[in-house]
């Protein structure tokens, strides 16, 4: 995604892929989607974080910044490998065709993964490969597997409510639970082996089709995660390991009380003393998983909105400087090309733009944000500069058709003036404008290519339920969609 190389792609999370397992997986349909991208001339597949989801099933609230979500493992492929029989996976619940039912999927899938683990223990065919995986990943996997096993042992409560000895990671307690929960720990390691095996197989296939994967790195980690439990000193916590401060954003045009995310914020001074070891490991790891990585809430690397624990809105926070410049400088020394994308949406200061530009990172432009003012808006395609990725909308927006239908008054007038209409035809016009722009990269959510209305929306920020569930079916992706995408990609030299 360099300045001199125009390209384009599609945003679709793995969970949104079709198949018979109740949730999109790393199996056959993911390969078929890569074939579709190649056929239409797309060079990029953008996805959301792949971690094991916790509260609200959000990929931005995971139990680990390193682990993969076991629900994305394709059981059909596990069966082809001989770790399950086809009969094992034939009897399935009746899954919803267009939505992920996360609880139903977990209840069906975990016992089968457990069965695959029992079969694996009797079969030494994958033993050497598994040992290599453990050798390469044990630096994060050991704590993760223990965390998940202990979490299950304590009926899934947040780790700050565990018994004091293991909450504080006392050595005797770590030894005790490592021994007591050995089978569960080994199981958790094994399913990570399955996940990463399938992931790298998929990534290799994408490369064979000249498709790059644009991954996503949330700035913050979940409070209920192994990342905080195993690294308490790099977060703002009190002596009892409870959060002192929480992340979020201040009141703005979109919300008069701001957004209270609740994530623990980093202790940047302590991170600097440790030479950013945890952050650097995370960046290296993500750039091994993906070809490019979008840093979500990039502005939090310059300064972040810190809200005292216990507040129920984001109003009473303050801006606190972070040490993102020092971190990225150190990372650049190690890798040269950063291969990062700055999610620089919302109210962005000169300092944040300087940080982005200092490291020559592409930023983001979203057409749906362009019509709140006038023709001088930086989000309008005629005002773009090359080093940006242009979107019709993102996973946090309504679909473009849903957005068009919600417009009122001046904004509606301006959109009609710019796109010629606010009906279905405007969706195609919006996509074509993005493709025609001078932005180095153009990306659309699959929902916009399919011209879906608000029922296709993946996430509504600030709402706790009903998100991350949307899935598509292959029959929705018609020849006319493929022709249109291929045509504009050729026409605008992407």
Write out the catalytic residue numbers: 296, 343, 396
Tokens of 442: 């153009």
How many Cβ atoms are within 10 Å of 127's Cβ, its own excluded? 11
């Amino acid at each position: 995604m360099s300045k001199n190389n125009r390209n384009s792609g599609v945003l679709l999370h793995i969970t949104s892929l079709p198949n018979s397992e109740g949730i999109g997986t790393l199996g056959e349909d993911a390969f078929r989607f890569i074939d579709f991208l190649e056929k239409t001339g797309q060079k990029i597949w953008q996805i959301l974080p792949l971690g094991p989801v916790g509260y609200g099933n959000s990929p931005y609230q995971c139990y680990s910044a390193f682990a993969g979500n076991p629900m994305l493992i394709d059981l059909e492929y596990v069966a082809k490998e001989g770790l399950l029989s086809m009969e094992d996976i034939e009897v399935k619940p009746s899954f919803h065709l267009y939505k992920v039912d996360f609880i139903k999927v977990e209840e069906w899938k975990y016992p089968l993964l457990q069965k695959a683990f029992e079969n694996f223990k009797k079969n030494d065919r994958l033993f050497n490969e598994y040992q290599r995986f453990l050798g390469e990943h044990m630096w994060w996997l050991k704590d993760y597997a223990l965390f998940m096993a202990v979490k299950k042992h304590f009926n899934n409560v947040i780790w700050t409510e565990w018994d004091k000895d293991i909450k504080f990671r006392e050595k005797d307690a770590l030894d005790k639970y490592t021994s007591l929960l050995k089978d569960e720990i080994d199981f958790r390691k094994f399913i990570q082996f399955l996940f990463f095996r399938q992931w790298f197989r998929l990534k290799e296939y994408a490369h064979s089709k000249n498709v790059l994967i644009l991954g996503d790195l949330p700035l913050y980690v979940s409070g209920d995660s192994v990342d905080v439990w195993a690294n308490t000193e790099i977060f703002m916590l009190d002596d009892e390991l409870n959060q002192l401060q929480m992340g979020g954003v201040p009141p703005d045009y979109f919300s008069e009380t701001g957004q209270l995310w609740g994530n623990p914020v980093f202790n940047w001074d302590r991170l600097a003393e440790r030479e950013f070891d945890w952050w650097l490991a995370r960046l290296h790891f993500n750039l091994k998983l993906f070809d490019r990585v979008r840093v979500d809430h990039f502005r939090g690397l310059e300064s972040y909105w810190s809200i005292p624990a216990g507040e129920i809105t984001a109003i009473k926070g303050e801006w606190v400087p972070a040490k993102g410049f020092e971190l990225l400088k150190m990372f650049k020394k190690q890798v040269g090309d950063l291969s990062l994308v700055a999610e620089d949406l919302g109210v962005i200061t000169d300092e944040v733009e300087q940080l982005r530009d200092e490291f020559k990172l592409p930023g983001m432009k979203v057409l749906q944000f362009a019509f709140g003012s006038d023709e001088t808006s930086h989000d309008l395609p005629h005002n773009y500069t090359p080093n940006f990725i242009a979107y019709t909308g993102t996973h946090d927006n309504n679909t473009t058709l849903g957005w068009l239908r919600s417009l009122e008054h001046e904004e509606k007038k301006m959109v009609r003036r710019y796109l010629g209409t606010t009906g279905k035809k405007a969706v195609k016009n919006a996509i074509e404008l993005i493709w025609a722009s001078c932005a180095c990269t153009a990306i659309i959510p699959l929902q916009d290519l399919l011209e879906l209305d608000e029922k296709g929306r993946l996430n509504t920020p600030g709402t706790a339920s009903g998100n991350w569930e949307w899935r598509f079916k292959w029959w929705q992706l018609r020849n006319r969609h493929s022709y249109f995408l291929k045509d504009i990609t050729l026409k605008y030299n992407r």
